[in-house]
Structure 1
Amino acid sequence: MAKFLLSLHVLAAVIAIGPVTVAASMFPRKARAALADGPEAAGEAASVRTLYRITQVYAALGVLVPVFGIGTAQVMGVMGSAWLITSLVLTVIAALVLLVLVLPRQEAVVASLAGAADADAAKALGGLKLLTMSTGLFSLLWAVVTVLMVVRPGSTTHA
């Protein structure tokens, strides 16, 4: 059962977290191009909307990662391990970064591209620096969680 749950956990991580990380990371560059004046801005606006939708959908699917992870940890008897608790805390922080910092700023950019005033576009463009930092933090948190899952410092399961 542990191998089955671990397989589901890893598949969920690859299928959900990979795309949300890539889409969120690509978003600021595409948004900057879409908010700029020029002939290619319209095409970039479509890309921005698509990246926002990918981030939303795969963020929702990402809930499966800790669910399968907790199930795996229970079966393996490692729920009290420091590496697992640290990973869970970092996962919650990554989810909060995504829900509080990344998605609302992406939504603001998409709304400004949907025909809002020039002032809204300028505001959205100004928020891209924080959005870029937020997506970088989100990616870094998941990288640390991944390393903890592989290395499992102090683990005695040797699995």
Structure 2
Amino acid sequence: MAKFLLSLHVLASVLFIGPVAVAVSMFPRRAAAALGSGADQPVAAASVRLLHRITQVYALLGIAVPLLGIGVAQVMDVLGQSWLIASIVITALSAGSLLLFVVPAQQSVIDTLDAEAGTPAAHSRGDDRERAERGLKLLPMTAGVFNLLWAVVVVLMVIRPGSTTGA
């Protein structure tokens, strides 16, 4: 059972966290092009909307990763080990950075694009563009923090301090 759950956990992390990591990394550059003016602007705006959608959907699906991880830890009887507790804390920090910084900054860009395109559902405010550009300045850093935290979790999962696997 442990091998099956571990396989699901690893598969879910690759299929669900991987696309989020790529989307949040690509978003700032495409968003800058979408908010700019040029021939690439309409294509960049479509890309930004797609990347934001990928971030939202796969982040939601990514909830399966820690849930499966806790199941694996329980079956392997390692729930109290420090490397696992550290991984859980870092995973929570990563999720927090995504939910508190990355997604709102992305949404701000989408709202600005909608307002400038005259989308009926868009709430038009004069400071939307300034807020989007301000958030866009921090977005590469917050995306990097999100990805770095996930990389640390992966390293902890592979190294597993105190592991008896001989690695």
- TM (norm. structure 2) is 0.91
| Secondary structure of the corresponding residue to residue 80 of structure 1 | coil
Counterparts of 1:21 and 1:14 in 2: how far apart (Å)?
10
Of 112, 128, 132, the residue aligned with 2:136 is 128
| Secondary structure of the corresponding residue to residue 115 of structure 1 | helix
Q: Tell me the alpha carbon deviations over residues 102-146 of structure 1, each in whole angstroms, 9 at most, x when there is no partner.
A: 001100000101124664223312221211111000000000000
Residue 4 (str. 1) matches residue 4 (str. 2):
yes
**1:145 matched residue in structure 2:** 153
**2:89 matched residue in structure 1:** 89
Would the aligned equivalents of 1:16 and 1:61 in 2 still touch at CA under 8 Å?
A: yes
Q: Tell me the alpha carbon deviations over residues 42-65 of structure 1, each in whole angstroms, 9 at most, x when there is no partner.
A: 110000000000000000011000
Amino acid at match of 1:63: I
RMSD, matched Cα? 1.4
**1:65 matched residue in structure 2:** 65
Number of residues of Structure 1 aligned to a counterpart in Structure 2: 159
| Secondary structure of the corresponding residue to residue 44 of structure 1 | helix
- The equivalences for 1:21-36 within 5 A come to 21-36=21-36
Amino acid at match of 2:84: L
Counterparts of 1:130 and 1:8 in 2: how far apart (Å)?
34
Query: Gaps (5+ residues) in structure 1?
Result: none
Query: Gaps (5+ residues) in structure 2?
Result: 117-124
Would the aligned equivalents of 1:81 and 1:155 in 2 still touch at CA under 8 Å?
A: no
- The equivalences for 1:38-77 within 5 A come to 38-77=38-77
Q: Percent identical across equivalent pairs?
A: 60
- TM (norm. structure 1) is 0.95
| Secondary structure of the corresponding residue to residue 97 of structure 2 | helix
State which drifts further: 67-76 or 117-126. Answer: 117-126
